[in-house]
Chains A and B, each alone.
Chain A
Amino acid sequence: MNQPLLEVTNLEKFFPVAGSGIFSRERGTNKAVNGISFTLNEGETLGLVGESGCGKSTAGRTILKLYDPTSGSIKFEGEEISGYSHSKMKPLRTKMQMIFQDPQSSLNPRQSVGAIIGASFEVHNIKPEEGVKRAVQELLERVGLNAEHYDRYPHEFSGGQRQRIGIARAIALKPKFIVCDEPVSALDVSIQAQVVNLLTDIRDDFGMSYLFIAHDLSVVQHISDRVGVMYLGKIMEIAPTDSIYSTPHHPYTKALLSAVPIPDPKLERKREQIVLTGELPSPMNPPTGCVFSTRCWKAQAKCFEVEPILQKVGKAEVACHFPE
């Protein structure tokens, strides 16, 4: 078997936390990403889902070395990059890109669209045969905008169009791997579908791999080949998309999926829902044993003591002592 494009092993990213109260300075460590491992093959899309604070975005940023990992290994095309400095990462940036959630704040309002996208070529000193301007215009057309948009500024575009600009910037250098961090969650439903389709098309055209981070399980299901479910900095379950959505093995995955409403009144009202009780524990002080144990209806003594590791269950890998 070929080596995977990306191989992440026991990745950790901790943030020091200074207390916000001035009189009680609680210090601690936010264990945002607390030991995750997965692989991503060429041309494959891995969805990463979970609720706010589960560490999915931090994971994406750490893999791209926008944050320095606390520990663990990140291998990109077999090359260990976890310890790389900023300058050593630079040549790799042509192969690894990111698309952000909020196109509004990730585009410089004082730069024209041409300058924003063209900067990718300049930074890496790449001179396209047809010239930068023509190359940028082709990119604009590729993402469904017009070549005439070259001289316009971000504020002249709607949210969906701005996200297209962000996509054009990310694909300018024909990367092999893109981290998509909530790329459609700020968009309206009708526009969201356009952008999801665009992301699917260019992935298939360019043969790229995505790490697709989102909280919307339906969107993730739509675009991903495999899906990883995160909770409190850990992967609870990772499996091929069809398998995880039809037969979730981890209780958390089951609860998460059962909470997603289905846009069909008859199905929606018949559906059995698992409503989780309790609150999400603090990532500064995660529960011992299984991190989900405090809210799990199947938890037994073992779950509070021994941390489960990812094990093969059917087609899935599940971190649970009592998988479904």
Chain B
Amino acid sequence: MALLSVRDLRVQFATPDGIVDAVSGVSFDLKEGETLAIVGESGSGKSVTNLAYMGLLPKTRTTITGSVVLKTEDGEVDLIGMSVEDLRKIRGKDVAMIFQDPMSALHPYYSIGDQLIEAHQAHNEVAKEVSRDRAIELLALVGVANPDERLKAYPHQFSGGMRQRVMIAMALMNNPKVLIADEPTTALDVTVQAQILKLLRDIQAKFKMAVILITHDLGVVAGAADRVNVMYGGRLVESASVNDLYENPLMPYTVGLLDSIPRMDQGHGKRLRAIPGQPPSLIQLGSGCAFAARCSRKSELPNGKCETSPELKAVSAGHLVRCHLYDSKESVK
């Protein structure tokens, strides 16, 4: 049984322009201790998927359906449809999160110590000193020098990389089983990114956490992930082990995405193979393949085929793809 099991998750936003289908029927499992990367471009639904079951989307004008079952100490619970108070008890305890921009993710008016201690106090009925000791211990662990003294400092007195370390320490305060890292290094410089990715690897091993790494950067994914989910237009379009995905990408979108990144190991001056066209509007997307308009292999299929909805199916063990090109392939269980 998976640690976290997402089934047919749908998220809709009501906007003045119409209903936005931000996430349309996403299902996946997260196993204990693994790193699952969710890759996609803006508007693919990669962030919304996770914010939705964590109850972090605005309540008004948002509809969330499906089920997200999490294994906790008290047995299995479905995060969708859970009471606000019960979900609160899970956030930051069983499942912790870190975000893209460490500049804005920490409250500018409270000291680092306040914010770390508060994270511990929210889930533990212990004396403040206990939480404080925990905060010092974790700050030291994530590589903040003089943690005792730095507790009194405010976020603006830290560099971007240091703030992300503080965010990581905060996420670890309650020994979470799942860490959701939403573009954790996107706002950081490349040398700082290397430091933070290394730190994430180290703490994952130490705390035996499962990590959901949300990113648009296929380089980061290659180094960090065990398994990869590719999202496009609010749907999961391909899912495979990291080696399988890079060696044998199936969905034309995945292929295009891998081809379109300039690679430092392949010399300069070669023309990039861009994916033509624009990402789809998520308003009344319809049930056809969201990528059809940009797909280079559409012509291989009968006319109108791509306007019908492809199913996500396994074409080999552990490799799932949502594309009509693989309809005839024997489904593997």
Contacts and interface: CB of A to CB of B under 8 A. Distances in A.
A265 B242 contact: yes
Contacts of A259: 190-191, 193-194
Interface in B211-262: 216-223, 225, 242-243, 246, 256-258, 260-262
Contact of A193 (B42, B192, B195, B261): B261
Given A51-B189, A275-B198, A260 B257 contact: no
B159 interface: yes
Interface in B180-210: 189-195, 197-198
B217 A193 contact: no
Interface string B156-179: 000111100000000000000000
Helix, strand, loop or mixed for chain A's interface? helix
Contact of A275 (B42, B194, B242, B262): B194
A194 B260 CA distance: 9
Given A160-B278, A193-B273, A263 B268 contact: no
A194 B276 contact: yes
Contacts of A161: 278
Query: Which range contains the number of B residues in contact with the other chain?
Result: 35 or more
B194 A221 contact: no
B84 interface: no
Contacts of B258: 263
Contacts of B263: 218, 262-264
Interface in A191-209: 191-194, 196-197, 200
B190 A268 contact: no
A158 B159 contact: no
B272 A196 contact: yes
Contacts of B161: 279
B278 A193 contact: no
B114 to A, nearest CB: 20
Interface string A75-119: 000000000000000000000000000000000000000000000
Interface string B255-283: 01110111111011111111110110000
Contacts of B94: none
B165 to A, nearest CB: 11
Contacts of B272: 193, 196-197, 222
A52 interface: yes
A263 B271 contact: no
A266 B223 contact: no
Nearest to B159: A279
Contacts of A267: 222, 265
A216 B218 CA distance: 13
B262 A222 contact: yes
Contacts of B269: 222
Interface string B92-125: 0000000000000000000000000000000000
A242 interface: yes
B191 A256 contact: yes
B219 A241 contact: no
Q: Which of B191, B256, B260, B269 has the most CB of A within 10 A?
A: B191
A215 to B, nearest CB: 7
Interface string A211-228: 000011111011110000
Contact of A262 (B162, B198, B264, B270): B264
Given A158-B279, A218-B263, A51 B190 contact: yes
A276 B143 CA distance: 13
Contacts of A217: 190, 264
Nearest to A52: B189
B279 A188 contact: yes
Contacts of A51: 189-192
A263 B243 contact: no
A219 B189 CA distance: 15
B32 interface: no
A265 B223 contact: yes
B148 interface: no
Contacts of B194: 258-259, 261, 273, 275-276
Contacts of A223: 268
A279 B162 contact: yes
B78 interface: no
A256 B222 contact: no
Contact of A265 (B246, B275, B276): B246
B41 interface: yes
B329 to A, nearest CB: 24
A127 interface: no
Q: Which of A193, A221, A279 has the most CB of B within 10 A?
A: A193
Given A191-B41, A222-B272, 19 more contacts: A188-B42, A188-B279, A189-B41, A189-B261, A190-B274, A191-B278, A193-B275, A216-B262, A218-B261, A222-B269, A256-B190, A261-B217, A262-B264, A263-B222, A263-B246, A263-B258, A264-B222, A264-B265, A279-B162
Closest 4 CB pairs of A and B: A261-B219, A193-B274, A51-B189, A193-B260
Interface of A: 51-52, 158, 160-161, 188-194, 196-197, 200, 215-219, 221-224, 241-242, 245, 255-269, 273, 275-276, 279-280
15 contacts: A189-B216, A190-B260, A191-B274, A191-B279, A194-B274, A196-B262, A197-B271, A216-B262, A217-B264, A218-B264, A221-B264, A223-B268, A242-B268, A261-B194, A262-B263
